A and B are shown apart, each in its own frame.
Chain A
């Protein structure tokens, strides 16, 4: 993939770059003295956790820092030009034409009120590459080349008429419209399902290789970086802590942080956190039989009513003290299943037998009592906590709702719960915004445990967390299970995490369970085609064989 000859000067050279944001609490340095080089045609990955400064670094290159941010030191040289000294007008000619951008979130990065095609063709108009019909034809051609079927028709459609993966293709088309020398891809696939991610990244590889475009791939996913990049740059707290050829960095990391990051990232080779053990002889705590959920939807111009089958004949059981994983991509029905288990959403038909009793029809005091025994932890620790409640209020609330104990007893229980999730009980007076993401998720877990539940439904509970924090939370969950005998239903899109945490796994697709088994057998010898597809799509943390052999342009 490397096409540059060694004596050529690099395409992009960043040295000693420092970016500071002015905040109410004074200046904050997001990037500190970062050095980075991208040669022509190569792919360089910038890897780091949230807050590491990797996205800020990327924004500094095309001069699109937030208004309160500024480069305070260092240089950015692009193809011999000092970008920081370039006047705004000439910088506009660089952006989009010579440096493309593929942003992160396909849902928010397209203007919802402008047809997709126009958002592409306007790039040609701005840069004077083509106008009128010619611009339109080029945009249609581009849509076709990023694999959008019937591009002539799709050109006129609006973003909401595209799926997430299709929108990401549109964003790639926009980034590559003018065949730029450099493409900044800022977490280009982190909002996508794993199978879609693979397709989109393959497409990106193919196009940039054929155009000879260099790629700066910003990602939190080490395995993905390893698979796609020629060289890796690891960032931590604004500084570059390690850089080098991908294989070298992965095989022999020099920096302590890189080592920790590598150790924490679960892969398909990581040892399981739980012992397989023999299934408990006792009756399962939850038994789901033939669960179905239909939603009425309107289709077509005349609004015909139709039933959309979100969950179709799902059956599984949760043994006491065990973790049952449900894996699937978006739209598979896994979260709907979670909501029905929590009795937050009524099922259309089927039984949920909890402790030998069908709970699907529960109402009033029975339902209230049921809630004490099954508790949720949701994905987004930022949205799942009331910002106006202190940590103590949040954890105490279930006790108040269920009228358990006096105020003094509740306080003692709150302190106990916080200690249980390894939080300092002194944090009880803090508000969520004063906590880190990992701390918040611990608070959410403490709240779920307040009522001594038997079952905890974890709906993507670690998916929003950075890899080091994720590892800590997973350890905590395993420890709590061992200590309190909890049963978990662990819902996730991340097969690697499911593999190390669960005793039993069900793979869902289009509302149905397509395959079930223990993680060991399921992942070693997948029977269903979809499971194989899922497994094949996971970044393996090393260049894929076929890509090493791929001919260079």
Chain B
């Protein structure tokens, strides 16, 4: 197990290097010139300003040169400076990444916990009304477009009914907690500010729920079908022959077997979840990595785009590693090698 983790970790720099290279080349393959976003539309007519900016940002150098400079800087922990914000990309990401991770983490918990509960419920009530309702919900969750659900929910629960918190990470005129981790809920608790925690948490609920919907639907369907399949398996019947009730067999034997495939699905879905952040963050004015990615690509902000790819790649690789380990923990037959 330790050998396996070490091997995978050792491989990570290589994979990240590949990701960075591809991201770098792709963003430079775009024919458009990023100068407009650096100096502003109006200054493009001014040759002096343009020449100065080209030199300042190293755009006069050849692509290989630019690439080697970027890699050399990256090795020293410098991800470059954003064309658009004129701030170091590393600093930009440090502010925005926790916002997205906080959202994605809560969304994951929703998908796993609610998905499993509803899946089990539907399987136990197979063919009954509850089963039908859950299955329809699962289908809707997987098929309704996120931006539409987001707007409808905001309109319904925030604007009309006023039962949910609005867009943003905090209510208006609420001052963020002192920065320790960047996760507002965690920072608020660290600062001992309970009302602030509640406010941050309430703002998380709706966007996280909507973010989780697609995965939630998938988890429900997998848990339900796995439960039904495992219920009919030989070992479940043998457990019944021991004198266990149907419920005991489900809880002690069937559930564990039914849940293992969920780990795989959740693992590969983390990447999709982060991708979905683009839409959610735009709708909920969430100052995270998704909005940052959108704005950076609009401005052809190469360093920022490559930085986002790098971080996304890291998240994906770590998620996969955790998935493999979780699988080995749950299923004794899996040997990591």
Contacts and interface: CB of A to CB of B under 8 A. Distances in A.
B173 interface: no
A109 B235 contact: yes
Contact of B240 (A93, A95, A100): A95
A92 B233 contact: no
A360 interface: no
Given A113-B256, A303-B337, A122 B242 contact: yes
B128 interface: no
A126 interface: yes
A111 B244 contact: no
Contacts of A64: 237, 240-241
Interface string B229-261: 000111101111111110010001100110010
A57 interface: no
Given A111-B253, A112-B331, A114-B256, A126 B238 contact: no
B243 A94 contact: yes
B241 A160 contact: no
A501 interface: no
Interface string A471-506: 000000000000000000000000000000000000
Interface in A159-175: 160, 171, 174-175
A103 B234 contact: yes
Looking at A62, A96, A113, which has the most chain B CB atoms within 10 Å of its CB? A113
Looking at B235, B253, B332, which has the most chain A CB atoms within 10 Å of its CB? B235
A542 to B, nearest CB: 31
Contacts of B330: 113
A105 B234 contact: yes
Contact of A122 (B240, B252, B331): B252
B3 interface: yes
B248 A160 contact: no
Question: Chain B contact residues (Cβ within 8 angstroms of A): what range?
Answer: 20 to 34
Contacts, number: 81
Nearest to B241: A101
Interface residues of A, number: 36
Interface in A335-373: none
A89 B248 CA distance: 12
A89 B247 CA distance: 12
A94 B54 CA distance: 86
A44 B3 CA distance: 55
B333 interface: yes
B238 A109 contact: yes
Contacts of A302: 3
B235 A95 contact: no
B256 A174 contact: no
A128 to B, nearest CB: 10
A302 B233 CA distance: 34
Contacts of B243: 92-97, 123, 126-127
B39 to A, nearest CB: 58
Contacts of B333: 112, 158, 160
B261 to A, nearest CB: 13
Given A158-B332, A298-B337, A111 B242 contact: no
A123 B3 contact: no
Looking at B243, B248, B332, which has the most chain A CB atoms within 10 Å of its CB? B243
Contacts of A95: 240-243
A298 B256 CA distance: 28
A110 interface: yes
A92 B244 contact: yes
Contact of B235 (A88, A93, A97, A111): A111
B337 A110 contact: no
Nearest to A106: B234
A126 B252 CA distance: 12
Contacts of B242: 95-96, 122-123, 126, 174, 177
Nearest to B236: A111
Given A105-B234, A298-B337, A303-B3, A113 B240 contact: no
Interface in B279-337: 330-333, 337
Contact of A110 (B235, B241, B252): B235
Nearest to B235: A111
B244 to A, nearest CB: 6
A65 to B, nearest CB: 10
Contacts of B245: 88-89, 92
B241 A113 contact: no
A108 interface: yes
Nearest to A107: B234
Interface string B200-242: 0000000000000000000000000000000011110111111
A476 B198 CA distance: 79
Interface in A107-143: 108-114, 119, 122-123, 126-127
A252 B314 CA distance: 77
Contacts of B3: 302-303
A298 B4 CA distance: 14
Nearest to A93: B243
Contacts of B332: 112-113, 158, 160
A103 B248 contact: no
A73 B238 CA distance: 25
A112 B234 contact: no
A152 to B, nearest CB: 18
Contact of B241 (A96, A112, A114, A122): A96
Nearest to A105: B234
A122 B252 CA distance: 10
A111 B239 contact: yes
Interface string A30-63: 0000000000000000000000000000000010
Looking at A89, A92, A97, which has the most chain B CB atoms within 10 Å of its CB? A92
B294 to A, nearest CB: 43
B152 to A, nearest CB: 40
Nearest to B252: A122
A101 B242 CA distance: 8
Given A122-B242, A303-B337, A113 B257 contact: yes
Contacts of B241: 62, 64, 95-96, 100-101, 103, 175
A126 B248 CA distance: 9
B331 A109 contact: no
Contacts of B234: 103, 105, 108-109
B262 to A, nearest CB: 14
Contact of B233 (A93, A108, A174): A108
A113 B331 contact: yes
Interface in A401-447: none
A491 B3 CA distance: 42
Nearest to A115: B332
Contacts of A298: 337
Nearest to B243: A96
Nearest to A97: B243
A103 B256 contact: no
A101 B238 contact: yes
B156 to A, nearest CB: 41
Looking at B241, B332, B333, which has the most chain A CB atoms within 10 Å of its CB? B241
Nearest to B238: A109
Given A103-B237, A111-B253, A126-B243, 12 more contacts: A64-B240, A64-B241, A88-B245, A95-B240, A108-B234, A109-B237, A110-B235, A111-B257, A113-B332, A123-B242, A126-B248, A303-B337
Interface of B: 3, 232-235, 237-245, 248, 252-253, 256-257, 260, 330-333, 337
21 contacts: A92-B243, A97-B243, A100-B241, A101-B241, A103-B234, A103-B237, A105-B234, A109-B238, A112-B235, A112-B332, A113-B257, A113-B331, A113-B332, A119-B239, A122-B242, A122-B244, A123-B242, A126-B244, A158-B333, A177-B242, A298-B337
By Cβ-Cβ distance, the 4 closest A-B pairs, closest first, are A96-B243, A101-B241, A96-B242, A108-B234
